[in-house]
Amino acid sequence: MFLDTKERILELLLGGKKSALTLSEELGIRESAVRAHLEALRSGGLVLSSLVRLGRGRPKKLYGLTEKGLERFPRRYDEVLELLVREIESDDAGRASRYMKGVAKRLARELLGERATTVGVKEAADLLNNLGFHTSYSETDGEATITSANCILRRLALKHPTQVCSGLHTWLIEELTGKGSVKLERCMAYGDEVCVHTVPFPNRVAN
């Protein structure tokens, strides 16, 4: 149970820094128990704490994931990079962006399998979640939002955000949904805590 709780804490911290009180409320356990788990995770190098001033009053201690903590979540380097190599080998005259777009198409086909050629935005978010992005879905009138709390290509994205984030990740959503105007609004490679893509006029899918 102790290990399960620690893993749950790590998962909750994927979405950004939180206080021990907030974590205790989300987990439904005592704050003192949460602090014990956090101390164990800190000792293991998986989380760190920082004092943050939120408005007036005393600074609050917030906890977040370290790089080691982030690396505990899925990183599907081999599968995606292998597809990239195959695309480069098939056509060595194009630019890197062309290769990334080709990888997005191949990966979308593999994710879709025997399904229709495209799916609704909510189902696309589910497919990305299965791939390891830890996605959530929301929508407003005329616009859907896919939020990714984990990056399966974090190391590569930090070095090549244009190709991986604005390119591969965004194009993958376009290929899955058939929507050609997906926008990357927030990006972990540029310092945000999550990646956020907006998709106009989503296909409605049943919950």
What is the span of the domain harbouring residue 46?
2-70
Q: Are residues 24 and 105 in the same domain?
A: no
- Structural domain includes residue 205: no
Assess whether 142 and 195 both reside in one domain.
yes
Is pTM beyond 0.85? Reply is: no
Query: What are 136's two structure tokens?
Result: 């959530």
Domain count, the chain: 2
In the 8-state DSSP scheme, what is residue 13? H
- Does 94 map to a domain? yes
C-alpha 184/C-alpha 167 separation (Å) is 10
Residue 206 is assigned to a structural domain of this protein: no
Q: Say what the pLDDT of residue 92 is.
A: 54
Helical axes 20-27 vs 2-13, angle rounded to 10°? 120
Residue (of 142, 105, 94) closest to 121 by Cα position: 142
CA distance 202 to 121: 6
CATH at 17: 1.10.10.10
How deeply is 2 buried, as exposed, middle or buried, from its count of CB atoms within 10 A (0-12, 13-18, 19+)? exposed
pLDDT at 57: 76
pLDDT tens-digit profile, the chain (207 residues): 345 899 999 999 998 999 999 999 999 999 999 999 999 999 999 999 999 887 777 888 999 999 899 888 877 765 776 676 567 656 654 567 788 888 899 999 999 987 778 999 999 999 999 999 999 999 887 899 999 999 988 888 888 888 889 999 999 999 999 988 899 999 999 999 999 999 986 445 444
pLDDT given for residue 95 in this prediction: 64
Of 39, 37, 58, nearest in space to 48 by CA: 39
Q: Return the structure tokens found at 1.
A: 């149970």
Residue 198 phi, psi dihedral angles, 5° rounding: -110, 140
Task: Give pLDDT, residue 205.
Answer: 47
